[in-house]
Amino acid sequence: MDQAPAEQLHTLLTLVQSNAATVLGHSHTDDVTPDTLFRDQGFDSLTAIELRNRLNGATELRLPSTLVFDYPTPAELAEHLKTEILQNNGPTSITSALAELDRLEAFLTAFEQDDAARSRITTRLQSMLLHWNGPGNSSDAASTSGTLASATASEVLDFIDNDLGLA
C-alpha cells in the first residue's frame, strides 16, 4: 500500500463497510457504522462467512471464518486487515510462498500418469526438501538415504543430473 497510514486505514474501512453493506443488502456504505458491533448491525454466522469470503477476494488474504467475531466492529476489522496486508505484502511473504506451492501442486497433477516424469520430479523435489531442511536434520537425511538405497541406477543418475542442473 503506497498511501499514508491514515489513508490506508480509511481505504480499508471503506472496503469493509461497502462489502458489509452489500452482504446485508444495504444500498449505502454509510448504513454500516465503523464502531457498531457487526452483530448489532444484523450479522449472523452466514453473513459473516459471506463478508469474509468477499474480503478474502478483495485482499487476497486467507481470513478465518470467525473474522467478524474476532474483530467485532468494522473499524477493528479494518485495522486487522491493515496489519495482515502489511505483514503479507511482497514477493517474499508466506502467503506468496504458499500460493506458489499451491500453483506447483496443481501443475504437477499433469504428470500423475507418467512414471518416468514422476520419478524425475520426485527426485528433484526430494533434493529440494533435503536442501530446505538443511544438513543438520538427521531424520530427513536417513529418509533420503533410504530412498537412494532403493533407487535404480537410472534414478540415481537422474538425481545427480538434476542436482547439478545438467538435466
Higher pLDDT, 92 or 162: 162
Regarding whether 83 and 10 lie in a shared domain, the answer is yes
| Average pLDDT, rounded, for the chain | 82
Q: What is the pLDDT of residue 165?
A: 60
Q: What was the pLDDT predicted at 142?
A: 43
The pLDDT value given to residue 140: 43
- Asked whether residue 63 is assigned to any structural domain, the reply reads yes
Q: Are residues 17 and 70 in the same domain?
A: yes
Do residues 34 and 76 share a domain? yes
Does one domain contain both 66 and 134?
Answer: no
Residue 94 counted as domain residue: no
User: 144 pLDDT exceeds 50?
Assistant: no
Taking the complete model, does pTM exceed 0.75, yes or no?
no
Same domain as 79, residue 17 = yes
Count of domains for the chain? 2
57 and 123 part of one domain = no
Looking at the fold, whether 22 and 81 belong to one and the same domain comes out as yes
Least confident range from 84-88, 118-122, 143-147: namely 143-147
Q: Is there a single domain that holds both residue 27 and residue 64?
A: yes
For residue range 102-131, list pLDDT tens digits in order.
Answer: 788 888 888 889 999 889 988 888 888 888
Model confidence at 2, pLDDT cuts 50, 70, 90, reads low
pLDDT of residue 130: 85
Mean pLDDT in residue range 66-73? 94
Q: Do 78 and 118 fall within a single domain?
A: no
Q: Report which residue type is found at 137.
A: N
Q: Is residue 122 part of a domain?
A: yes
User: If DSSP states are collapsed to H, E and C, what string results for the chain?
Assistant: CCCCHHHHHHHHHHHHHHHHHHHHCCCCHHHCCCCCCCHHHCCCHHHHHHHHHHHHHHHCCCCCCCHHHHCCCHHHHHHHHHHHHHHCCCCCCHHHHHHHHHHHHHHHHHHCCCHHHHHHHHHHHHHHHHHHHCCCCHHHHHHHHHHHHCCCHHHHHHHHHHHHCCC
Task: Convert the pLDDT of each residue in 16-59 to its tens digit.
Answer: 999 999 999 998 989 999 999 999 999 999 999 999 999 999 98
Tell whether 72 and 36 lie within a shared domain: yes
User: Does residue 72 lie in a domain region?
Assistant: yes
Domain that holds residue 39: 5-87
- What is the C-alpha separation between 146 and 36, in angstroms, rounded? 60
102 is a domain residue: no
| 138 has pLDDT over 50 | no
Confidence of residue 146 (pLDDT cuts 50, 70, 90): low
Does the residue 106 lie in any domain?
A: no
The pLDDT > 70 percentage for the chain reads 77
| High-pLDDT (> 90) share of the chain, % | 38
Indicate if 116 and 152 belong to the same structural domain.
Answer: yes
Where is the domain boundary, 54, 87, 120?
Answer: 87
Q: Please indicate, yes or no, if residue 29 is contained in any of the structural domains.
A: yes
Q: Are residues 151 and 79 in the same domain?
A: no
